[in-house]
């Protein structure tokens, strides 16, 4: 049914506008201000125009962090989305076992980010961790704080551990909404398992999968606390992702100008990619509403 036009609906939105403006627009303006200015400490600021942006676009450090970030988000999506779908397909459909699965799977999602880092720290360490100990007993050399490759594997395993359940829960919700008649029809047609997945389940999960991809992309692209606790961005700069680099610049070195310019470009990249996802999502919503 079409929504009715009512301009007074604005009144209902005003509280949200005020609150979000206070916590978003005002701080954002500070960032914009800083990004065009330089300071020698104190409150003496002077205008430097696009200087910081020019500097950052030629900064190898930033491009390296950006490359690592893209690679990380790509690997995360490539593992978590298929794995999440597989887990959702394997979940019990109803009864007490389904409830237990739901509760256990949600557990990692509710653990504070730094505790997630701590869990993997004490799990992976060669001296006290179960994983580190078992691997070294098997004769596999593994040390996430020394070896860059091991650090990457651990950070990715940690994120898969932390967030795959989100994808699985979303897909599960999508699967539950498929009427039984669809499966009965497929059975009469003697459709193979793959065809049932390809032509019934996957299309019906399209909407929720878009949400999953959007959320996982956004959150993996701004990941900070978990790798910060686990590796501190190391060894060297191997796991220094954009947020870690930015916090180092802003709160560690107090390079306000460059950090502000960095922030704005960072935000714009996320915004741009998310806008594409969002537009696709809305059009899926609409096409489903028409069906």
Q: Which two three-digit tokens encode residue 230?
A: 């686990």
If the CB atoms of residues 152 and 266 are measured against other proteins, the closer one turns out to be 266
- In this complex, which beta carbon is closest to other proteins, that of residue 190 or of residue 236? 190
Ranges within 85-124 binding other proteins (CB under 8 A): 86-87, 89-92, 99, 101-115, 118-120, 122-123
Q: 64 is written with which tokens?
A: 């390296």
Q: Is 2 left (phi over 0), alpha (psi -120 to 50) or beta?
A: beta
Q: Does 15 bind other proteins (CB under 8 A)?
A: yes
- Residue 41: CB minimum distance to other proteins, A: 15
Q: Are 46 and 37 in contact (CB under 8 A)?
A: yes
Report residue 191 as tokens.
Answer: 């459709």
Q: Which of 187, 203, 170 is nearest to 87 (CA)?
A: 170
Residue 235: CB minimum distance to other proteins, A: 18
Among 24, 184, 253, 287, binds other proteins (CB under 8 A): 24
Cα separation, 244 vs 250, whole angstroms: 10
Q: Which of 27, 30, 37 is nearest to 257 (CA)?
A: 37
Q: Which of residues 212-271 bind other proteins (CB under 8 A)?
A: 218, 221-222, 224-225, 229, 242-243, 246-247, 250-251, 256, 259, 263-264, 266-267, 270-271
Does the footprint of other proteins cover residue 136 (CB under 8 A)? no
Residue 209 CB, nearest distance to other proteins (Å)? Answer: 10
Per CB under 8 A, the segment of 35-43, 44-52, 143-151, 205-213 that binds other proteins is: 205-213
Least Cβ distance, residue 158 to other proteins (angstroms): 9
CA gap 204, 192 in Å, rounded = 17
Find the distance separating the first CA and the last CA of the chain, reported in whole Å. 13
CA atoms within 13 A on the CB side of 261: 20
Q: Least CB distance from residue 190 to other proteins, whole Å?
A: 7
Structure tokens at 281: 């999502």
64, 82, 275, 276: which one binds other proteins (CB under 8 A):
275
37, β-bridge pairs:
47
Instruction: Rank residues 132 and 152 by Cβ distance to other proteins and give the closer one.
Output: 132
**Binding positions for other proteins, 45-74, rule CB under 8 A:** none
Nearer to other proteins, 71 or 109 (CB): 109
d(CA 253, CA 149) in angstroms, rounded, equals 28
Contact 123, 230 (CB under 8 A): no
From candidates 22, 74, 149, 199, binder to other proteins by CB under 8 A: 22
Kindly state the smallest distance separating residue 82's Cβ from other proteins, in Å: 12
Q: Please report how close the Cβ of residue 49 comes to other proteins at its closest, in angstroms.
A: 21
Is residue 222 classed exposed, middle or buried when 0-12, 13-18 and 19+ CB atoms within 10 A define those classes? middle
User: Which residues in the 153-192 window bind other proteins by CB under 8 A?
Assistant: 161, 164-166, 169-170, 172-174, 176-177, 190
**CB 80, CB 163: distance < 8 Å:** yes
Residue 126 in the binding site for other proteins (CB under 8 A):
no
Residue 26 interacts with other proteins (CB under 8 A): yes or no: yes
């Amino acid at each position: 049914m079409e929504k009715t036009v009512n301009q007074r609906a604005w009144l209902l939105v005003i509280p949200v506008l005020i609150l979000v403006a206070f916590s978003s627009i005002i701080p954002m303006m500070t960032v914009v201000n800083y990004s065009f200015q330089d300071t020698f400490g104190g409150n003496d600021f002077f205008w430097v125009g696009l200087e910081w942006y020019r500097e950052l676009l030629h900064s190898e450090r930033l491009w390296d962090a950006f490359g690592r970030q893209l690679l990380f988000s790509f690997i995360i999506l490539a593992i978590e989305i298929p794995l999440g779908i597989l887990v959702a397909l394997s979940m019990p459909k109803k009864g007490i076992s389904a409830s237990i699965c739901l509760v256990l799977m949600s557990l990692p999602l509710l653990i504070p980010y730094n505790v997630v880092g701590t869990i993997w720290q004490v799990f992976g360490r060669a001296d006290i961790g179960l994983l580190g100990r078992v691997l070294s007993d098997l004769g596999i050399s593994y040390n996430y704080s020394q070896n860059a490759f091991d650090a990457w594997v651990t950070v990715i395993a940690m994120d898969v551990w932390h967030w795959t359940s989100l994808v699985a829960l979303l897909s599960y919700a999508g699967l539950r909404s498929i009427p039984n008649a669809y499966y009965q029809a497929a059975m009469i047609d003697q459709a193979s398992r793959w065809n049932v997945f390809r032509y019934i389940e996957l299309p019906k999960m399209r909407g929720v999968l878009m949400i999953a991809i959007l959320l996982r992309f956004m959150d993996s692209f701004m990941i900070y606390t978990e790798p910060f606790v686990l590796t501190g961005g190391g060894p060297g700069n191997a796991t220094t992702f954009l947020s870690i680099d930015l916090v180092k610049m802003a709160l560690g070195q107090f390079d306000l100008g460059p950090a502000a310019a960095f922030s704005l470009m960072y935000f714009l990249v996320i915004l741009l990619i998310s806008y594409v996802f969002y537009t696709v999502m809305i059009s899926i919503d609409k096409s489903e509403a028409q069906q």
